[in-house]
């Protein structure tokens, strides 16, 4: 599944979907299945912060075939060990998690590894040198999901794009409208959680709004 991110995309599968932190089963499974049908999700990150390891294992093993059927990569937040154990496609790590170089040794050369780099080109460059397949910049906008550690701009995305071919993920307060200038400035993917799962509308209603916005406004 590594080619989902490494190859230059020519379609509009730009969405990087992050799961809600608390498991509601089978709601999560059924909703993910439905959202995959919209054709704009490239990556699903399991960010089950409020669940134990056994729950994460069960969910990953249930969702992996659903993701692969729809050509979507499944990655685990923070836990390279669980990613390896469940044979998920990779891991996303923060600056305080396992170093990227160690995650690469654990998961092997074909795993998908992403690193949060806040608003720092230096951190992103270091991540790539340590074996990252993509780097995540954020938060671009205010968000209640987690404390804001960086304030990147579209200039950062343009600067990165001019120097590196490694893909970028823009994260933090993303919605159907503000995602467009980020992608048009160089972000390969936009990561979304709250705007899908916590909006007053249903997740599939929100994803349809994203799809319409991408269809109308992206400069591919």
Strands 189-192, 90-93: pairing kind = unpaired
Position 29 in a domain: yes
Give the 3-state secondary structure of residue 187: coil
- pTM for the whole structure: 0.93
Output the pLDDT for position 7.
43
What's the CATH number where 110 sits? 3.20.20.70
Position 93 in a domain: yes
Q: Please determine, for residue 5, whether its predicted confidence score (pLDDT) is greater than 70.
A: no
Give the C-alpha separation, 203 to 96, whole Å: 31
Calculate what percentage of the chain has a pLDDT beyond 90.
86
> Which residues on neighbouring strands pair with residue 112, listed in sequence order?
90
Q: Give the domain range for residue 98.
A: 11-210
Position 3 in a domain: no
Contact 57, 82 (CB under 8 A): yes
Position 4 in a domain: no
Q: At a CB cut-off of 8 Å and minimum separation 6, what does 126 contact?
A: none
Position 139 in a domain: yes
**pLDDT tens digit sequence for 112-160:** 999 999 999 999 999 999 999 999 999 999 877 666 677 899 999 999 9
Q: Please determine, for residue 6, whether its predicted confidence score (pLDDT) is greater than 50.
A: no
Output the pLDDT for position 200.
87
Rounded to the nearest 10 degrees, the angle between the axes of helix 27-36 and helix 53-69 is 20
Give the 3-state secondary structure of residue 207: helix
DSSP state of 145: S
Residue with tokens 């916005």: 213
Contact 44, 75 (CB under 8 A): yes
Position 47 in a domain: yes
Helix or strand holding residue 85 (H, E):
helix 80-86
Calculate what percentage of the chain has a pLDDT beyond 70.
92
Output the pLDDT for position 33.
96
Phi and psi torsions of 37, nearest 5°: -70, -10
Q: Which of 16-20, 78-82, 102-106, 145-149 has the lowest mean pLDDT?
A: 145-149
Position 217 in a domain: no
Give the C-alpha separation, 202 to 80, whole Å: 31
Position 2 in a domain: no
Residue with the bigger pLDDT between 182 and 199: it is 182
Q: What is the mean pLDDT of the chain?
A: 92
- How many distinct structural domains can be found in the chain? 1
């Amino acid at each position: 599944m590594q080619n989902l991110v490494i190859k230059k995309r020519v379609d509009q599968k730009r969405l990087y979907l992050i799961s809600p932190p608390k498991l509601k089963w089978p709601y999560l499974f059924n909703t993910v299945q439905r959202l995959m049908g919209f054709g704009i999700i490239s990556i699903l990150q399991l960010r089950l912060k409020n669940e134990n390891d056994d729950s994460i294992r069960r969910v990953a093993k249930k969702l992996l075939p659903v993701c692969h059927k729809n050509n979507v990569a499944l990655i685990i937040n923070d836990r390279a060990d669980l990613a390896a154990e469940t044979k998920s496609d990779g891991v996303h790590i923060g600056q305080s998690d396992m170093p990227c170089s160690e995650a690469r040794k654990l998961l092997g050369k074909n795993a998908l590894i992403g690193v949060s780099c806040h608003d720092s080109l230096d951190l992103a460059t270091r991540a790539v040198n340590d074996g990252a397949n993509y780097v995540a910049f954020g938060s671009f906008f205010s968000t209640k999901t987690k404390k804001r550690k960086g304030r990147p701009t579209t200039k950062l995305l343009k600067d990165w794009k001019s120097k590196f071919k490694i893909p970028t993920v823009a994260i933090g307060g993303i919605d159907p409208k503000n995602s467009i200038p980020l992608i048009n400035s160089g972000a390969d993917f936009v990561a979304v959680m709250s705007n899908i799962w916590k909006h007053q509308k249903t997740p599939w209603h929100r994803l349809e709004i994203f799809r319409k916005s991408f269809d109308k406004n992206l400069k591919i």
